[in-house]
Amino acid sequence: MSEARKIVECVVNYSEGRDMDKIEKIVDPYRQAENVKLLNYEADKDYNRVVVTIMGEPEAVKNSVVESVGIAAELIDMTKHEGQHSRMGATDVVPFIPIKNMSMAEAVELAKETAKAINEAHDIPVFLYEKAASTPARENLAKVRKGQFEGMPEKLQDPEWHPDFGKNEIHPTAGVTAVGARMPLVAYNIDLDTQNVEIANKIARAIRHSGGGFRYIKAGGVEIKERGITQVTMNITDYTKTSVYRVFETVKMEAKRYGVNVLGSEVVGLVPMEALIDSAAYYLGLYGFSMDKVIETSLME
């Protein structure tokens, strides 16, 4: 009997959200690759960032990522990049998520192989983060990315921050990339009807783990000038322990302190169906609702 087919997801973040011609070229390797499916890509002009979600067999995903990273390095000049989102490289982060017949240990090994290949092919220094981190200090992406592109040349001179792959010098235009392995997360933004970004920052501090909030929330405030609003932008790193509805309701409660309303929210990239079940049950007052009551669950079995 043949070995069960392994499936991995990869959610690659690139520092380009405005030039669709460049974005299409960066995404193209995923369209062309065999055993890789391009699931979704969403560009954000304010963040100047595109999030690309792919899924497929591990080796095929790795090869397509390495090819796309090379294209991004050619097309994106980080010395000219501006945006609301923290960033340190043309290809900023490359997380691998085990989906089917694949362990976290195997996803970690894939992350290490991909990081090595990126450095060897494109001379871009790479940090390993989250479950693939080489030291506890590198598990948190925010710590790895602290200093951003502009501060990386000095940061890499610190012996504690020598890249896991490559020299302690940034790529002059493509910067530095982080490659890791993690469980599925929900990238989630909540819109506020205020242009005062300090209010968004205060709310973000109240809900994130480092500020005494929810254990599985990383959050910050950003200004969306084009729309005249601000956002509380966050990652829910374990939606099974911190539900989407709980975060949404808490932000609404905190916003009232400042006379601010929540306008709505958005999911960036793809979201596991299970992450929405709790919210549906909460807002509809459903009893005993679960994935088993969703028709599509039976189709996927």
Q: Is the dihedral of CA 272, 101, 127, 45 positive or negative?
A: negative
**81 included as an active-site residue:** no
| Number of neighbours of residue 263 by Cβ within 10 angstroms | 13
Catalytic hit among 85, 122, 162, 171: 85
Query: Would you state the structure tokens that stand for residue 75, as one six-digit string?
Result: 């097309």
Burial (0-12, 13-18, 19+ Cβ within 10 Å), 60? middle
DSSP 200-220: HHHHHHHHSGGGTS-TTEEEE
DSSP 128-174: EEETT-SSGGGSSHHHHHTTHHHHHHHHTTSGGG--SBS-SS-BTTT
β-pairing, 91-100 with 177-181? parallel
Q: What b-and-e string marks burial along 157-170, b requiring 16 or more CB atoms within 10 Å of the CB?
A: eeeebebbbbeeeb
Q: Nearest 5°: CA angle at 119, between 115 and 120? A: 115
| Cα–Cα distance measured from residue 296 to residue 288, given in angstroms and rounded to the nearest whole number | 18
The type of residue at 248 is: F
Catalytic residues: 85
